[in-house]
Amino acid sequence: MADVISGNGRMVLDGDRVEDDVFYWLTISDEPGKIVAEGSISASEDLLRKVKKAQRATLTPEDGPPLAVKCVGGRNGVRWVKALRD
């Protein structure tokens, strides 16, 4: 069974903290490499468009280290993401 982390967090987009919460659901990767986890984030469509357009998007979970995220698809308030090592 894969390890899953989920909860609410905040985004930091190009160095600016966003006040809106995002819900995340990520499966931790078993493979060594740059990808730490894969899954989804949910928030307002406006915020998710900003996440996709940002040069650097970082998810800051309520409990745990910040994770750089890269959007790889999704729409209507949900984006599929990969969480990457810095």
**What does the pLDDT read at residue 73?**
93
Q: What is the pLDDT of residue 2?
A: 67
pLDDT at res. 37: 95
**pLDDT at residue 48, rounded to an integer:** 95
On whether the 4-84 domain is CATH 2.115.10, my answer is: no
The pTM of the full predicted model, rounded to 2 decimals, is: 0.88
Q: What is the pLDDT of residue 86?
A: 66
Please tell me the predicted confidence (pLDDT) of residue 85.
78
In this prediction, the residues of the chain whose per-residue pLDDT falls under 50 are: none
3-state secondary structure of 11: strand
Q: How far apart are CA 49 and CA 15, in angstroms?
A: 16
Q: Can you give the pLDDT at residue 31?
A: 87
The residues spanned by each domain of the chain are 4-84
